[in-house]
Chains A and B, each alone.
Chain A
Amino acid sequence: MAAPSIAVTRVAPRASHGLWGDAFRRLLRNRPAMVGALLIVAFLLVAVFAPVLAPYPPNESFPPPAGETSQKLGPWPPSAAHPFGQDKQGRDELSRVMYGATVSLLAGLSSVIVGVTLGGLIGAVAGAAGGKVDSLLMRCVDVLLAMPGILLAIGIVTFLGQGLWQITIAVAITNAPIFARLLRGGLLSVRESDYVLASRSIGASRTRLLTRHMLPNSLTPIIVAATLALATAIIDIAGLGFLGLGPPDPRTPEWGTMLTDSREFLRSAAYLIFFPGLAIVITAVGFNLLGDGLRESLDPRLKR
């Protein structure tokens, strides 16, 4: 009986570039995520360079397009000089939508940063401390989660007053409990892991355990959630603006406020609704696509 010959082929090991490097490579290969990234880059460019890119200042009124004889200020339909039309004060809609990107970016980003910081702190303290502190903090989180999103935000706005930074804070507080739960859950699950135990056994301090081992290993869900939260934050801020809780200064080009200001022209000037609406949708699609892509590339087990 001849011994069966086994052909052994050496498979060249795929070079690993570390957790983040691998994730980044996977992300680059994820086509929907790249479409999302492209949309976000476009949005960022417009938001940052609005003063350069926009054809006109956002608050200058312009005369009606040539051939219009009516004496009213606006709105005016799209023309060569004003491709998105002009609003009821004769202002250039394209420029206002572009400046609106700046407002949305600033408000959305700050609201998510505040939300992540606030929620992250609560979650980190709860997850690290455990015991009574943990249950008390999680009860507080339950309370915030029991109030349906926009209603809690409305309550906070009645308290803080109307305005852009007020709705930004309101949306941040509404989002914070989600981050708190995510981080706490992550911390709890890594707390019992072998590498934390190993590190603890060689006498690592609590702070070192938390900052060097536990936090970095619990951050991925937060990054994904923060990206997706940017989409909802921008939508919610526009929604509160739509309800009339946004910037009281009518000159601020906030997308939601622009929509609510143009509602009376739904029949006569739907373009005033279409373009700001489209801007919100495109931005939200971008962040949702990138968020989903990040989730898949940071945790490849999720991909089916």
Chain B
Amino acid sequence: MTKYIVRRLLGTVPVLIGVSIVVFVFIRLLPGDPATAILGQHATAQRIAEMREFLGLDKPIWEQYLIYVTTLLGGDFGRSIINGQPILTEFLTRMPATIELTAGAMVFAAGLGIPLGRFAAKRAQKWQDGSITVLSLVGISIPVFVLGLTLQYIFAVQLGWLPATGRIDARTALELQSNFVLIDVWLQPDWTFEEKLSAFLDGISHLILPAIALGSIPLAIITRITRASVIDVSNDDYVRTARAKGLSERRIDGRHVMRNAWLPVVTVLGLQVGGLLAGAVITETVFAWNGVGRWIVEAIGNRDYFIVQSTILIFALIFLVVNLAVDVMYAFINPRIRYA
């Protein structure tokens, strides 16, 4: 097992190098002089010279790349061109918001998708199954931004049940510590329990709409996969044997069907992480959610290329780690798979 993990970890190294080359190319091969392209036409000659030096443009390209990778490995992702802030620091302050959002979306998608898929499988080819299939088709076909705007219109503008934007009521004097709003509300020293609880619930109410918007596509995919997997396993011989033995349906479901049906579901859950991170970019823009995704979009508008570059790199790293974790989890769930 350890051997397998080490081998897989080593396997991600070439991919990461590849990603860093691609991301490096995005900036270095900007049309014209990269320093001018980054700073804009109106930058002073001195700033352009500084940028040329920072990028190492006078050196050969492979040396530029080596310098780039070395600074990356030292934890230096560069600075924002606009405000000079170190990118990694800013990334880390904004990432908790994105994690809160994607976690919320995942809870929504898996929490609803798995039971829905199981239900549809039990009622296979009946009207309930049909309606769930149609709903999941629509779920896959609605873009995040269309669903997000629609939810905002219905639940915020028309019904006024839930807030349309932000992570917490703007009047709340919340002192951020971990930058997870849902955690920080409990860490406020001067607040009474009631205040903490009401701020927490306020945070949750801000999370609901964006989480649904972001989670709808994973929800549809998870529902489909769970349904297919459960139907697939239910036709297996050992399930028939279990039924013939006279086991209760409940026991068959828990002990025989679901244990084997989990495998594809777990894989798909893991694969959704990449999609969620990508979807967060748009969702955060729709809901004015102050996470990494909105930051990238602002950075594109400001032509703050280093932010875009570094975020792609970090997201790719997260994605690879999650994929690895999923593969490792496989082995735990399914003892039939023997690695090493």
Contacts and interface: CB of A to CB of B under 8 A. Distances in A.
Contacts of B316: 146-148
Contacts, number: 136
B15 interface: yes
B320 interface: yes
Contacts of B282: 150, 239, 242-243
A61 B164 CA distance: 31
B146 interface: yes
Interface stretch (B59-67, B73-81, B301-309): B301-309
B137 A151 contact: no
The main secondary structure of chain A at its interface with chain B is: helix
Contact of A288 (B140, B309, B312): B140
Nearest to A289: B137
Contacts of B157: 266-267, 270
A284 B23 CA distance: 31
Contacts of B124: 304
Contact of B308 (A142, A146, A155): A155
Nearest to B231: A304
B145 A242 contact: yes
A17 B31 CA distance: 54
A4 to B, nearest CB: 31
B138 A285 contact: yes
Contact of B278 (A143, A151, A242, A263): A151
A155 B23 contact: yes
A151 B281 contact: yes
A231 B142 CA distance: 10
Interface in A139-181: 139-140, 142-144, 146-152, 154-159, 161
A139 B17 CA distance: 11
Contacts of B29: 159
A159 B281 contact: no
Classify chain A's interface size. 35 or more
Interface stretch (B47-55, B147-155, B190-198): B147-155
A255 B100 CA distance: 30
A247 interface: no
B199 to A, nearest CB: 26
A268 B296 CA distance: 29
Contacts of A151: 277-278, 281, 296, 311-312, 315
A147 B315 contact: yes
Contacts of B296: 151, 154
Contacts of A289: 137
A154 B315 contact: no
B138 A149 contact: no
B285 interface: yes
Given A243-B297, A244-B301, A266-B157, A146 B138 contact: no
A101 interface: no
Nearest to A243: B297
A148 B316 CA distance: 7
Nearest to A150: B278
Interface stretch (A78-86, A202-210, A273-281): A273-281
Interface string B17-55: 011011101100111000000000000000000000000
B91 interface: no
B15 A142 contact: yes
Given A148-B315, A151-B277, A143 B30 contact: no
Interface in A21-42: none
A163 to B, nearest CB: 13
A276 B305 CA distance: 31
A143 B18 contact: yes
A266 B155 CA distance: 12
B84 interface: no
27 contacts: A139-B15, A142-B15, A144-B22, A146-B18, A147-B319, A148-B274, A148-B277, A148-B316, A149-B274, A151-B278, A151-B312, A155-B23, A231-B141, A238-B143, A238-B145, A239-B143, A242-B145, A245-B300, A266-B152, A266-B153, A273-B150, A277-B146, A277-B150, A285-B138, A288-B141, A304-B124, A304-B231
Given A143-B22, A155-B26, A238-B143, 17 more contacts: A143-B18, A143-B21, A146-B15, A147-B312, A147-B316, A154-B296, A154-B312, A157-B300, A159-B29, A161-B31, A231-B141, A239-B143, A242-B145, A245-B300, A281-B142, A284-B143, A304-B124
Interface of B: 14-16, 18-19, 21-23, 25-26, 29-31, 124, 137-138, 140-146, 149-150, 152-153, 157, 164, 228, 231, 274-275, 277-279, 281-282, 285, 296-297, 300-301, 305, 308-309, 311-312, 315-316, 319-320
